[in-house]
Amino acid sequence: MSRLSRGNHFLGGFGTQNYLEDYHMGKSGDYRPVSNISENDAEYKLELGIPGFRKEDIELSIHDNRLIISGQNQNKTSLEYQRQEFNHSTFKQTYDLPGDVDKEHINATCKNGMLEIFLPKKRNVQKPHSKITIK
């Protein structure tokens, strides 16, 4: 199986001590939505928790075999938070796409603070390795 990965790295390290710092809030302090990635024989599925964002606030694009997800929330709030664990401003995340993703048929839904991106696999993809019979 191929792997969908964030940035230049395969997703991993979720059990590390700095999970919230490294992934949720980002090393620079920018908001980074938490995500789930699953795979079956037909597709990859990427889920991002984006509370407070609407589908109109989200942009999806592909550039150089990378899925780019960005959000800019236009709903400004005048609330003064005592504690704020998710933010309502902007985010941007990139994911390296495996070679077997059918980029022409990617689709997404955004509902109840959850962005789901469905990345179907190409049919009849040549395997990177094949066995050669010696005669």
Mean pLDDT of the chain: 77
**What is the per-residue pLDDT for 12?**
34
* Phi, psi (rounded to 5 degrees) for 20: -65, -40
Q: Give per-residue pLDDT as tens, 37-76.
A: 999 999 999 999 998 889 999 999 999 889 999 998 876 6
Instruction: Compute the distance between CA of residue 34 and CA of residue 28 in angstroms, rounded to an integer.
Output: 16
For residue 128, what are its two tokens? Answer: 């990177």
Q: Give per-residue pLDDT as tens, 73-97.
A: 876 677 777 877 766 678 899 999 9
pLDDT band at 103 (very low <50, low <70, confident <90, very high): very high
CATH T-level assignment (fold) for domain 5-120? Immunoglobulin-like (2.60.40)
